[in-house]
A = this chain, B = another copy of it.
């Protein structure tokens, strides 16, 4: 998606350790007009798929998911980072290692809000190793929900998570795909 690529080149910053900082428009200060256009693009890509639920993970996926839900006309659910490892019977849970923070989060979704009738689009801001996506997919599987696919803002293709999940049969649509990144340059696929 050209608009997103242009914005990454204009406002993104590459930091040491494979970090792309886009907190000027995507995950701290957020540009909702850009997110709306991204949501329209996801709607176009997944036309005819009868998606009836968006699933994301707190916190930085929520804004994109909210606008995607608005555009698709369906509710969103965000997986919460649990403060305890004692998971109640009323929750689905999965473990998600964080590439950025170097820790592992247990994420949970209430059983009330994800179930067999759901056709789910998983939405997130980044796809790198794929850990968050694997965790969100696991929550859907526990619920018996159908994962239609994933809609990602920025995929760091060189970290391999997206292609591994595609090879396993998951449809993954990323609006900007970064082939390579170094301290002073960035190349899209």
Contact = CB atoms under 8 A, between A and B. Distances in A.
List of 9 A-B pairs having minimum Cβ-Cβ separation, nearest first? A32-B70, A58-B59, A63-B66, A32-B69, A29-B113, A62-B62, A66-B66, A59-B59, A29-B77
A30 B76 contact: yes
B77 A28 contact: yes
A117 B29 CA distance: 15
A116 interface: no
A75 interface: yes
A33 interface: yes
A10 to B, nearest CB: 15
A75 B25 CA distance: 8
Interface string A83-122: 1000000000000000001000000011011000000000
Interface in A104-163: 109-110, 112-113
A20 to B, nearest CB: 16
B67 A70 contact: yes
A32 B76 CA distance: 8
Number of copies: 2
A70 B36 contact: yes
A119 to B, nearest CB: 15
Nearest to A62: B62
A89 to B, nearest CB: 17
A37 to B, nearest CB: 11
Nearest to A81: B59
Contacts of A101: 83
Contacts of A110: 23, 28-29
Contacts of A70: 32-33, 35-36, 67, 70
